[in-house]
Amino acid sequence: MDLKPRADLVPNTRAYEEIPLVKPTGFREYDARWLFGSEINLLGVRLLGMGLGTMLHERGVRPEIVVGHDYRSYSSSIKQALIAGLLASGCTVHDIGLAMTPMAYFAQFDLDVPAVAMVTASHNDNGWTGVKMGMQRPLTFGPDEMGALRDIVMEGRVTLRPGGELKLVPDMAERYMADLSDRPKLTRKLKVVAACGNGTAGAFAPEVLRRIGCEVVELDCTLDHSFPRYNPNPEDMKMLHALAEAVTETGADIGLGFDGDGDRCGVVDNKGRELFADKVGVMLARDLSALHPGATFVVDVKSTGLFLTDPVLRENGAKVDYWKTGHSHIKRRCAEISALAGFEKSGHYFFNPPVGRGYDDGLVSAIAICDMLERNPSKSMAELREALPQTWGSPTMSPHCPDEKKYEIVDRVTRHYQRLAADSGQIAGLPIRELVTVNGVRVTLADGTWGLVRASSNKPELVVVCESPESEDMMKAMFKNIDLHLSDYPEVGEYNQKI
């Protein structure tokens, strides 16, 4: 069999059954993601496993790896193909079965295994598949590792070795849930709606929340890989609206929504209001910095400006570092600067000891939120939210843009705003105060209003977010300026949602 892949194969042909199909754009900044069938086939997945095993050997990493899969109709078969490739490359594979992504990360620690490969497309629509990988716990691959793996796979530079071994770990789910619930039960009686969008978290999240002492109302927790109601994505307003409705109907204290692979958590307060995850991050940072004065927090460039201006965080001596969006980027940055926690607007939260092990886990985040409510027994989630200074923020908006074009477009947008700032240009009658270009371009005006344009790391899309501490009109004016500029590029298509 030819081990050098092609990107132009089509199903129902002889070549498709004999040659690996791997589209190189599937190797993204920190995850690997493809449309299964049209961008990667099972032979391509097997080659990916061979390439990953080859990379572990070449980097001097002990060739042992944890592998799991999410609840999609095709994920188990993809995992088996990946395992076949890893075994052929001489790796010992610990198969933990059906799992959430953070369960695979936990297994690295629990089994003392250095590497991980979790088969999941996270919150992407059905049809997508992917693999989240790492070889230095609790970190996952970033651009350097993904680029090296891409080159090995696309050039067919794999080395096959004897000695591969498969070890089945049938009890990892129970070990994971026991670890999370090995703690004092909550004394505050919390009624929680747990929404899982029929994704993998439905098998685990309600049970863990019950074990720590919550009364749980289940919403779409029955596993169904057709995702009949909505895609399990706590940034999707359809999921948040359903969660808000359930909170209002049941009189719950809080609603917690988990994404398809369980590493993110979205929140609805007791009044049925959807809370953007970055604002919840500010609330958690307030709570944790009171316990750990002077703590450092890492936040992504999509997140609210309150992390810098909030008076409580300032009083607690909290230090804040804005960094690149993406779970691998934030995890690595938290480790580099010894941050207590990291927060992304998408709902990825990262807690280092003593709260967590450094990786993103939607259930660890949910428990941290419950603990915050426990430490504030006289206040509701709504009251904690209302205690924050007011800002007006947009949802995360994602206009379509081809993978092959999106980074070039963002570079051109960045240059546009750099020229505008250099020429003392104005937006909505205000000058530009600051440009942050660590990840796309974040344009901040004199009054603190800001707008961000960056390339999505896992889909053929751009990402647009806006916020103003002054008014909803200023937030919308910022978006209008960005949207008008993006309309100059024919490569930029329709948004998933607009304000």
Give the separation between CA 336 and CA 359, rounded to whole angstroms. 14
Give the separation between CA 400 and CA 61, rounded to whole angstroms. 38
Strands, DSSP E only, in 310-400? 319-323, 341-343, 349-351, 392-393
Structure tokens at 247: 């909170």
Closest C-alpha to 366, from 197, 186, 141, 222: 186
Name the β-bridge partners of 129: 34
Helices 143-154 and 42-58, packing angle to 10 deg = 120
Structure tokens at 66: 């944890």
CA angle 417, 441, 349 (to 5 degrees): 160
What's the Cα-to-Cα distance from 385 to each of 268, 381, 414, rounded to whole Å? Answer: 11, 6, 33
Catalytic, out of 75, 89, 122, 394: 122
Main-chain phi, psi angles of 167, to 5 degrees: -120, 125
Main-chain phi, psi angles of 306, to 5 degrees: -65, -25
What's the Cα-to-Cα distance from 107 to each of 64, 140, 359, rounded to whole Å? Answer: 12, 14, 12
Dihedral (CA of 266, 269, 273, 277) sign: negative
Name the β-bridge partners of 132: 118
Helices 101-110 and 362-374, packing angle to 10 deg = 90
Structure tokens at 136: 């230095």
Q: Is 122 a catalytic residue?
A: yes
Structure tokens at 453: 């344009």
Name the β-bridge partners of 268: 255, 274
Give the separation between CA 21 and CA 154, rounded to whole angstroms. 10
Tally of CA atoms within 13 A in the half-sphere of 421 that contains its CB: 17
Give the separation between CA 108 and CA 305, rounded to whole angstroms. 35
Give the separation between CA 334 and CA 297, rounded to whole angstroms. 8
DSSP 276: -
Which residues are catalytic, by number?
A: 122
